[in-house]
Amino acid sequence: MIAYGIVPTMSFKTWFLFLVMEGALSLSPGPAVFYVVSQGARSLTRAWPATLGILSANAVYFTLSATSLGALIAASARFFLIAKWAGAAYLAYLGLKALRGAGASHAVDLTEQEPHSAAGRDRRQIYFGALTLQLSNPKALLFFLALLPQFIDAHRSVAPQMAILAATSMLPESCILMGYGWLAHRAAHASASFGVTGGMNRWLSWIEGIGLLGCATLVLKFSRSD
């Protein structure tokens, strides 16, 4: 059956199945959620570049999935190994950097504003951290490069189908990730409202650092057989 109006280039059943699966995967805690939460606890302005980095990596996956290159990458054990270790190393570096910053004497209170130049630098680092995390996540690689093509009807034009699946994936995932970031942000400020402000920024730096190291560990523990 072809769905008219909403998804004219694929069956409604296929589209709806993908939507349900994408929603469930986005809601389930994993490296991407962990990363956004660790940034959102500090500030909502740190949650959106983290979310954007995750979605940018997904856009790369959708593009690769539409080509034969995607199949070659999905079948390459060496590529998986290199991507996994390179991504984990970068995340571990960011985590250790955050932990070192937690003990810095210039740690500030939640209510203070960062200088514009420092905020821009942090946002770029957060974005590239999220991009690296998602591009080095073996489960994300397998989903987009091996499982995603299963939702494509080879008898119809591939590009419109990929565009529909990309929109179906990114819109709910962006809302879900930002929702997680907002909840983490509200939880941090609820603690501050009870007077827990003295070392809050230091504690949040510890949470961020441990979260990044946790993401690195999760990336390393995943295997293609999981």
Give the H or E element holding residue 122: helix 116-135
The answer to whether 212 and 130 are in contact (CB under 8 A) is no
Per-residue pLDDT band for 23 (boundaries 50, 70, 90) equals confident
pLDDT above 70 for 107: no
User: What is the predicted pLDDT for the residue at 109?
Assistant: 45
Mean predicted lDDT score pLDDT of the chain: 75
When comparing pLDDT for 5 and 66, which is higher?
66
pLDDT one-digit tens code per residue, 77-92: 676 677 677 767 877 8
User: What is the predicted pLDDT for the residue at 189?
Assistant: 75
> 51 CB contacts (<8 Å, ≥6 apart)?
36, 130, 174, 177, 178, 181
| Domain coordinates in residue numbering, the chain | 42-221
Separation CA 69–CA 65 (nearest Å): 8
pLDDT above 60 for 132: yes
DSSP state of 4: P
